[in-house]
Structure 1
Amino acid sequence: MKLPRVLICGYYGYGNGGDEALLLALIQELQQLPNPVQPVVLSRQPAQTAASYPVLACPRFNGLALQRCLREAEAFVWGGGSLLQDRTSWRSPLYYLGVMGLAQQLRQKTFAWAQGIGPLDRAWIRNLARRSLAGCTAISVRDRIASDLLEHWGIPHQVAPDPVWGLKSKTLPEWEAWPQPRIAVVLRQHPQLTPARIESLGQGLMQLQVSTGAYLLFIPLQLAPQGSPELGADYRLAQDLQQRMPGHSQILDIRDPCLLKGSFQGARLAITMRYHGLVMAAAEGCRCFGLSYDPKVKTLLQDLGMPGWDLQEIPTDPETLHQAWLTCYENGPALSSAEIETWVQRSAQHGEWLRQQLSWE
């Protein structure tokens, strides 16, 4: 018997650890449906996606294949993450809005799942996003920024923490061999992360390593697509910083989302720019210090009660960086086991909601 197909659309097949973690969390939720379905994922690297997960995959930019997958699907899901934002590019939200529009024209069940909406700086994209979201069968979002925007637009929705909170972590075989104490560093390229700021960050990390004797784990979340001869932007930045460090350090190259999350286990401190670096580290009980390039990171830091700076406010003095990180390393807040379990249970609401919506006789 042919299973009902659920077409999943997101930033998949690009080597982004956070988005791949969201995809795995969504697949695991679909596997808990009382009646089985066949997930089909739109991916930049469909062969790799199909080899990595129990799914079928479709090339996201092949128009004929995409239309065929849409016609064959019973439901369409915008996978989680910040798909609807035009700060980095207007083309990206236009793609997602276009595919959602096609699904709605086919009168499918359409869902926006675990979304972080915005920033939407262009009025015409805001208007398109508003109409598209208003046409969805149901919506869940992962933060109060997205929730406030939908409330302003009068669009019903559910809100719960990011589903990656609930993703089960796995431990790398070499995990126990890594020296203690450990500090995890998760940085990303960004226009506001200027060469001068990178230099200050590098000097601050050098002083922090000398003060603590810590083993630095550089954890790039944006790797190059698998098989690419090039290195991902996050990895190149990690290499630049690692070569400055006076003590032992390591750059991790991990694509399995569960192993990626597990790499934060036992870290005394995580210094992170990336949103899912913050989610994974906090979920593993780390003290965290955030460098916010986006409102979603700042909002999560506030919700967690953890320290950080906006990227444009990073001090230029390396000693100021060093002292702030050292204070967090020694006495910074970390979530208790009970608090982590609360975040995990709340994040499960995305899956519970989706399973209620997806039902076939």
Structure 2
Amino acid sequence: MTQVFLCGYYGYGNAGDEALLATLLEQLPRHVSPVVLSGNPAVTSALYGVATCDRRDWGQVLRTLRQSQAFIWGGGSLIQDVTSWRSPLYYLGLMTLAQQLGCCTLAWAQGIGPLQSPLYRWWTRALLRRCLAVTVRDSGSAALLRQWGISYQQGADPVWLMSARPVLPPKNKAPIAVCLRPHRHLTGERWQLLKTALRQWQEDTGVDLLLLPFQPQQDLPLAQDLYATLIPEQTQLLSCEDPRQMKGIFTTTAGAIAMRLHALIMAASGGCRCFALSYDPKVSYLMADTGMAGVELKALPADPRALIRQWQDTFSAPAPSYQAYLQSAAVHKAVLNLL
């Protein structure tokens, strides 16, 4: 068996990062024995039935690296310094150690950047050049790697292919899922606009809404505030830890309005109509790559009814086909056979 150290933002209850981990574990070749870096090893082990390593225990991290034959940056926007300068330092440092200890390294389904620091840009280029393979999930990352002269393969986000676990359908008609998160671009004024528009939409059309906090620690207070604004008989709030169950929930909905990237991908991969509220380049890349409906959060229309009209147009249109993206996502699975 080949022991592989899986490195990502796992164990923090973020359904998007957990979905990347669940997909990676599903796609690993049979001869691979994974050890997952986690912020909550007990929960990760219980949820996926895998060996884990506590990301805060540097002694355990070093022992695990020495015992591993391969190391994977396991999906997501790990290497960006917009939200924090510490995050890329941590992940770049781990891959540096892995390469120095002789591990085969792979950058899997990455969203590279934005990187404002010249040091981080130089360090990232140096590490990627020494990787066995690099796959990216969006056109922006691909353009950056072409500029750097680094060989890569591009495919749609691997979560397009994650399996779904069935859940009970909603009690009433299929709802529209709403997945929002706190962000500096979601100002008080914009938040009030969204709440007003969603409430008015319910009053005008009778639409049912399903509030899905993707990372409860961050998103739940927002969802609870929104729930208090909406019509109780037409609103449900639901949270779960297993990303495969979360994807199963989307299969029972009529569509999704979401800020979070993987909420949009989970919904779209199940054939749902989607409306994106983009707060980050990765969401804008998804909109550009797929033609998905949506709006930049910073450009929300000032009139709630203008937003309602956009939603009505989106959710009354024929469901789009995303088959090409399901096929494209297979790029990331194929590269794992190099291990």
Which letter maps to 1:310? E
Residue among 61, 66, 69 paired with 1:74: 69
CA-atom RMSD in angstroms: 1.3
Matches of 1:187 and 1:334, distance apart in 2: 22
Which residues in structure 2 correspond to 1:326-345 (within 5 Å)? 326-331=312-317, 334-336=319-321, 339-340=322-323, 342-345=324-327
Q: Is the 8 A contact 1:110 1:136 kept in 2?
A: yes
SS in 2 for 1:290: strand
Matches of 1:254 and 1:269, distance apart in 2: 19
Give the aligned partner of residue 192 of structure 1.
185
Which letter maps to 2:72? V
Q: Is the 8 A contact 1:208 1:326 kept in 2?
A: no
SS in 2 for 1:237: helix
Residue among 153, 157, 161 paired with 2:156: 161
Which letter maps to 2:37? L
Give the aligned partner of residue 134 of structure 1.
129
Deviations 1:305-326 (A, max 9, x none): 1221111111232222222212
- By how many angstroms is 1:220 displaced? 1.2
- By how many angstroms is 1:248 displaced? 2.0
Q: Is the 8 A contact 1:18 1:221 kept in 2?
A: yes
Which letter maps to 2:46? A
Matches of 1:252 and 1:164, distance apart in 2: 21
Q: Is the 8 A contact 1:266 1:286 kept in 2?
A: no
SS in 1 for 2:98: helix
Residue among 173, 179, 191 paired with 2:172: 179
Give the aligned partner of residue 25 of structure 2.
27
Asked if residue 238 in structure 1 is aligned to residue 223 in structure 2, the reply is yes
* Percent identity over paired residues: 48
Asked if residue 298 in structure 1 is aligned to residue 284 in structure 2, the reply is yes
- By how many angstroms is 1:268 displaced? 2.3
Residue among 221, 231, 234 paired with 2:214: 221
Residue among 343, 346, 352 paired with 2:328: 346
TM-score normalised by the chain length of structure 1: 0.91
Which letter maps to 1:22? L
Asked if residue 280 in structure 1 is aligned to residue 273 in structure 2, the reply is no
Q: Is the 8 A contact 1:189 1:237 kept in 2?
A: yes
TM-score normalised by the chain length of structure 2: 0.96
Give the aligned partner of residue 308 of structure 1.
294
Give the aligned partner of residue 33 of structure 2.
38
Which residues in structure 2 correspond to 1:1-150 (within 5 Å)? 3-30=1-28, 32-33=29-30, 36-150=31-145
Give the aligned partner of residue 207 of structure 1.
200
Matches of 1:327 and 1:37, distance apart in 2: 47
SS in 2 for 1:263: helix
Deviations 1:330-358 (A, max 9, x none): 22x5323xx43x32222122111111x11
SS in 1 for 2:229: coil
Matches of 1:335 and 1:266, distance apart in 2: 17
Deviations 1:59-92 (A, max 9, x none): 0021111000000001000101110111110100
SS in 2 for 1:189: coil
Farther-moved stretch of structure 1 (309-318 vs 100-109): 309-318
Question: Structure 2 regions of 5+ residues with no counterpart?
Answer: none
Deviations 1:99-154 (A, max 9, x none): 00000111210000010111112222222211121221211111111111111101
Q: Is the 8 A contact 1:269 1:328 kept in 2?
A: no
Which letter maps to 1:42? L
Q: Is the 8 A contact 2:6 2:73 kept in 1?
A: yes
Which letter maps to 1:6? V
Matches of 1:27 and 1:269, distance apart in 2: 27
Question: Structure 1 regions of 5+ residues with no counterpart?
Answer: 224-231
Matches of 2:253 and 2:48, distance apart in 1: 28
